Amino acid sequence: MTQVSSPESRLTLYCLPHAGGSARPYGRLEAAVPRGVRVVPLELPGHGRRLRERPLRDMGQVVTEVIRLMGEGRGRPFALFGHSFGALVGYETTRRLRQLGTPPELLLVSGRNSAAWPLSHEPLHLLPDPSFAAGLSRMGGIPEALLAEPAVLRVYLPSLRADLRMVETYAHTHREPLEVPIAAFAGLQDRLTDPAGMAAWAELTSRPFDLTLLRGGHFFLDEPEFRTAMESRLGRIGPPAVAAATGSGSTAGPEHGRERSRVPGGTTAELSEEEI
């Protein structure tokens, strides 16, 4: 079960896993966020500690469950972070929370092209198990450690298939942009994303947007480069959420309408309309 932020926390970072993934890896982010940020991984039915539960198969149900898990935490400053499938869940959850009047301070997405972009791969969710797993492997969309354990992989296939079904049948129908800043992260060797598709997240918000391009493939959450970028971006959330805890007086994100991309090596470049 999830926890809410402590009185000392200035911001709670709720984390949403990739397809078939568990909340456990996000616990390691605690050491990679600014002082005053509390990391709260959320476990979905059919995943991780809730593996015995039936996986949800409808995005609306997933969003409802995420908000239930957040509980009273929605009454304090918070941000949402989702990787791959989790990025899509985070986006749809942010839209629901906006309707409820409790939007996050920031939406962070990684490993997934814009929710408004077409699917980046051929649909897999209807394939038989061997072809399904092989397809995920070719795309780099499944951890190598899981591929090395076929018996363990079979246990996770139902949740993987349910999550991929939601991704592969998803249709973006929203017309109004979010009034929430978005920060995006992507691996330059990720076969499931590309820089243009990641930059297109900018079109889904009327608030500041920035994109960080990293070395590596689809799974980079444990990489020092990503952790440094995450810490930096969270540290730029203005008061009263985080800046007071980090000693920074900067406000959240770049000037509205100016998309920026941080490339490997720590440099930052503005994205022109042609690059987007």
Where in the sequence numbering do the catalytic residues fall? 84
Q: Position of tokens 């973006």?
A: 172
Nearest to 121 by CA among 140, 106, 145, 105: 140
Structure tokens belonging to residue 261: 């991309």
Structure tokens belonging to residue 174: 């929203």
Cα 80–Cα 85–Cα 88 angle in degrees, nearest 5: 55
Query: Within the chain, where are the H helices?
Result: 59-70, 85-100, 129-139, 144-147, 150-168, 195-199, 224-235, 243-246
CA torsion sign for 148, 150, 151, 153 is: positive
Determine contact, residues 181/226, Cβ cutoff 8 Å. Answer: no
Helices H / strands E in the chain, number of each: 8, 8
To the nearest 10 degrees (0 to 180), the angle between helices 129-139 and 150-168 is 80
Structure tokens belonging to residue 104: 């996050």
Q: Three-state DSSP class for 208? A: coil
